Amino acid sequence: MINRNTGNSTGIRVKHRCFLHGLAAALTEEGRRNSIVKMKSDAVKKGTPRAPHRSLFKALGFIDEELERPLVGIAYSESEIVPGHIHLGNVAKAAADGVRMAGGVPVRFPVIGVCDGIAMGHEGMRYSLVTRELIADSVECMAAAHQFDALVFIPNCDKIVPGMLMAAARLNLPSIFVSGGPMLAGRKDGKALTLTTMFEAVGAVASGKMSEEELHELENIACPGCGSCSGMFTANSMNCVTEALGLALSGNGTCPAVMAERIRLAKKTGLQVMEVLKKDIRPRAILTEKAFMNALTVDMALGCSTNTALHLPAIAREAGFRLDFELLNKVSAATPNLCRLSPAGSSVIEDLHAAGGIPAVLYELSKKNLLNLDALTVYGVLGDAVRGAKNKNTDIIRPIDNPYMETGGLAALWGNLAPDGCVVKQSAVAPSMLKHEGPARVFDGEDEAFNAITSGKINAGDVVVIRYEGPRGGPGMKEMLGPTSALAGMGLDDKVALITDGRFSGASRGAAIGHLSPEAACGGVIALLREGDRIAIDIPARSIKALVSDEKLARRRREWSAPPPKVTHGCLARYARMVGSAAGGAVLSE
């Protein structure tokens, strides 16, 4: 075929061959250089004493030339039970291709991951948060045991992202992240459908607002394929925050799972990890105070899940920093809320991507100098992501001078009900519920509360209290998407508040206040509440109080005794013994 511009196809093929020969020579030179520079993986590859180790590598199909190059571990959470993970083998292969193109040797290994949606509303949800620590531990074990030189992390869903971020900070090996990307939204009558649609539909059926046939129709179209659920839920929140932290390339949080762009991004990530290795850029050099301030700022602008208030402190702890609710409120007070993605609004992650993604959000925030643009990243500094960025849809990403709210998406509250604090996604609260006072409807567990809601026993004005679901008392700090969605589906989300020492899915909306600390199992005031006690909530004033006298509370405390543990053996029992307060990120004691 003749090239239309030159008319010389032979010359072009010669140029192509020259380019490929040059690339091969460069990779050979890279391999030669790596054989001279000592690598961490030399501990399992080099010298006479390591002949047995090399024999095991060769049992895997490795050749001598590969053993001269860096070993790059690729941790990925592919499985056949999580929609967000079912395609991660393809993403991992693309990342591995990038590593090989840059002269490294990729080594893929799996980690576990729970689908919070499938685990929701039953005993399985107790195991979700627990896996965050298990994932961090398992990656640490694999990377240290096999002496990888660098790591590519491929998470996608709720606890996998923070678990891997914790591992990256703990190991401090040159590292980079690329997620599996968000699911496309389902569509019906021109409206986007998400997992929230389905959970709220359960409440609609219970209240007679929807038929079983309509419910069945929705369940076939709400979640149309692979990827993390399509709203600004916990998984997508954490993948977007990873961009802000500087550990991922632009597009990590928003490019849909099904796009070829996601595969290209994975290849570029594989190439880039070799640059990070060559420059010896370590996670703790990136995960500085500046990086965490950037992450919190982007979190507030996006209106992320309340779970970020649980995970960011845990990641910061591994990096040697302390994040607390006071800092969260400080950043929230200074950061306008620019996005109203599902469940707070009707737009979804694919809309955010089309509007310019996280770089466009960074661009808007930079107009008021709200970011540390000189913060180190895996590709340079954060300011590099802003250059050339544009806000392509001001309905999706509000301009900084016209935000949805002057303050951020999350808020921490204090009072006698939460002396150590609690958290609410204020951007998903109806204006009429920002201040609320009502009688407590007290339930010792999620199941009791859900049954009361769906059987019509909760009235407008009530404050539903779900206790003994904290990190220790749960154990495992269950998410309460079932109760919040049932309230929304019944039309009560702007009339009823819900407070808990457990937590909420990022898909929850309404006056849903979680992480009350200390929790009930540790003798927190929430354990002393009784049916009918008046509860006063004032989100703008950052206040949550039980309108009960100190004398009454003291008397009730004398009468209170800690309940016996719900689980006495296995993983959950061990977790309950070791886990700390939600106010500190629900991390395990050393």
Catalytic (active-site) positions: 505
Q: Whole-angstrom distance between the N-terminal and C-terminal Cα of the chain?
A: 67
In 3D space, the residue among 393, 428, 396, 390 whose CA is nearest the CA of residue 409 turns out to be: 428
> Helix, strand, or coil here: 73?
strand
d(CA 522, CA 480): 20
DSSP string, 488-552: HHTT-TTT-EEEESSB--TT--SSEEEEEES-GGGT-GGGG--TT-EEEEETTTTEEEE---HHH
DSSP string, 102-155: TT-EEEEEE-----HHHHTTSGGGGGHHHHHHHHHHHHHHHHHHHT-SEEEEE-
Cα-based distances in Å from 569 to 290, 444, 576: 42, 22, 10
d(CA 325, CA 530): 27
d(CA 549, CA 547): 7
> Which residues lie across from 107 on neighbouring strands?
73
Q: What is the 3-state secondary structure (H, E, C) of 173-192?
A: CCEEECCCCECCCEEECCEE
In 3D space, the residue among 371, 406, 403, 81 whose CA is nearest the CA of residue 245 turns out to be: 371
* Count of CA atoms in the C-beta half-sphere (13 A) of 579: 30
Give every CB contact of residue 572 below 8 A, 6+ residues apart in sequence.
Answer: 126, 127, 130, 475, 476
Give every CB contact of residue 441 below 8 A, 6+ residues apart in sequence.
Answer: 449, 452, 457, 458, 462, 463, 464, 465, 531
In 3D space, the residue among 192, 19, 34, 183 whose CA is nearest the CA of residue 103 turns out to be: 34
In 3D space, the residue among 291, 263, 276, 312 whose CA is nearest the CA of residue 154 turns out to be: 263
Residue 257 and residue 293 in contact, taking contact as beta carbons nearer than 8 Å:
no
Residue identified by tokens 């808007």 is 364
Q: Which helix (H) or strand (E) holds 27?
A: helix 9-36
d(CA 199, CA 479): 13
The answer to whether the bond into 106 is cis (omega within 30° of 0) is: no
Give CA 304 to chain center in angstroms: 9
d(CA 569, CA 460): 41
Cα-based distances in Å from 62 to 73, 223, 437: 15, 41, 67
Report the 10 Å Cβ neighbour count for 513: 27
